[in-house]
Amino acid sequence: MSVPTISRAPERVAAPPELPDLLPPIRIRRGLIGFLRRYPTIAVGGALLLLLILIAVFAPLLWTVDPTALSPARRTRPPSAQFWFGTDMLGRDIYSRVIYGARISLTVGFCVAILASVVGLVIGLASGFVRWADGLIMRMMDGLMSIPPILLAVALMALTRASVGNVVMAITMAEIPRVSRLVRGVVLSLREQLYVEAAVAAGTRTPMIILRHILPNTLAPMTVQATYICASAMIVEAILSFIGAGTPPTTPSWGNIMAEGRALWQVKPFIVFFPAAFLSITVLAVNLLGDGLRDALDPRLTKRP
């Protein structure tokens, strides 16, 4: 049957009136700009995050001084032209400490996100493919997930000396179970797919299956999860430093600066305010990025009009 081609209405039928479009025509922009316009949260979050990364990387060039140089003679000065964010109780320049502190927080955030993702991926794959290990591994992950993350990190920090590396390790351990669950879920659902069964039947070895079929499908949810882990890790690091269980007091991190300034928040709120603002903005940026990525990468979620 051929497709009818009617270019004009037959003469005996009244011509339909020309009605204006009810909705403006939707222009779908291609390329990066189009992508960013459709997902403004990715644009805003990503831009902020990029800015903060640049600040952290180029810290020595941003008119900072040695963040550990103390000079008690000029302690607790309010923000001024010389000390943009003021000085703390030992006379150290808060602006420099906050800028260098960005390095610690971002490092912890990214390292935890990457490490937890990698380890969680391995465990999730193992659990998904090796059936007899699945029950055992998932029970263990359930057990680990039942310990509230901050307490787990606190307990681990109590056993070791304070250092950035140990903080990363401690927080990573708390975040691994969620990633492994996620990966396992993907593996289990994909294992049933016809094309994977076909690949297995064709004799493809497991590593190849993982590489070509499983991994690409885990990338999207794992990326979204990784951003949330990054945000969570930064907050946990700040909390740990605040209660004295995180990075050593000699290294400036946002949590440390806030912990030291907390005694004076009533009279010199700027000591707590600046690192708090930076931390909040950074976490906000990462959360926005995560939200945007989730919207963009998850096909099941209905788009907002």
> Least distance to another protein from the beta carbon of 194, Å?
27
Give the separation between CA 44 and CA 176, rounded to whole angstroms: 28
Near another protein by CB under 8 A: residue from 49, 167, 229, 235: 235
> Least distance to another protein from the beta carbon of 181, Å?
12
Give the separation between CA 162 and CA 244, rounded to whole angstroms: 9
Question: Residue 91 or residue 204: which is nearer to another protein going by CB?
Answer: 91
Near another protein by CB under 8 A: residue from 52, 111, 276, 289: 276
Which has the closest alpha carbon to 261: 235, 229, 238? 238
- With binding defined as CB under 8 A, does residue 242 bind another protein? yes
- With binding defined as CB under 8 A, does residue 99 bind another protein? no
> Least distance to another protein from the beta carbon of 305, Å?
5
Which has the closest alpha carbon to 237: 142, 144, 169? 169
> Least distance to another protein from the beta carbon of 99, Å?
19
Mask: binding to another protein, 140-179, rule CB under 8 A, as x and -? x-xxx-xxxxxxx-xxxxxxx-x-----------------
Give the separation between CA 233 and CA 246, rounded to whole angstroms: 12
- With binding defined as CB under 8 A, does residue 68 bind another protein? yes
Give the separation between CA 80 and CA 100, rounded to whole angstroms: 19
Give the separation between CA 2 and CA 280, rounded to whole angstroms: 63
Give the separation between CA 191 and CA 175, rounded to whole angstroms: 25
**Piece in contact with another protein (CB under 8 A), picked from 22-30, 122-130, 190-198, 265-273:** 265-273
- Cite the DSSP H helix spans in the chain: 31-38, 40-57, 94-129, 131-145, 149-159, 164-191, 194-201, 206-209, 215-243, 254-261, 270-297
| Ramachandran assignment for 265, one of left (phi > 0), alpha (psi -120 to 50 degrees), beta (any other) | alpha
Question: Residue 43 or residue 214: which is nearer to another protein going by CB?
Answer: 43
- With binding defined as CB under 8 A, does residue 304 bind another protein? yes
* Positions in the binding site for another protein (CB under 8 A): 68, 70-73, 75-76, 89-90, 139-140, 142-144, 146-152, 154-160, 162, 231, 235-236, 238-239, 242-245, 248-250, 258, 262-269, 272, 276, 279-281, 283-284, 287-288, 291, 301-302, 304-305
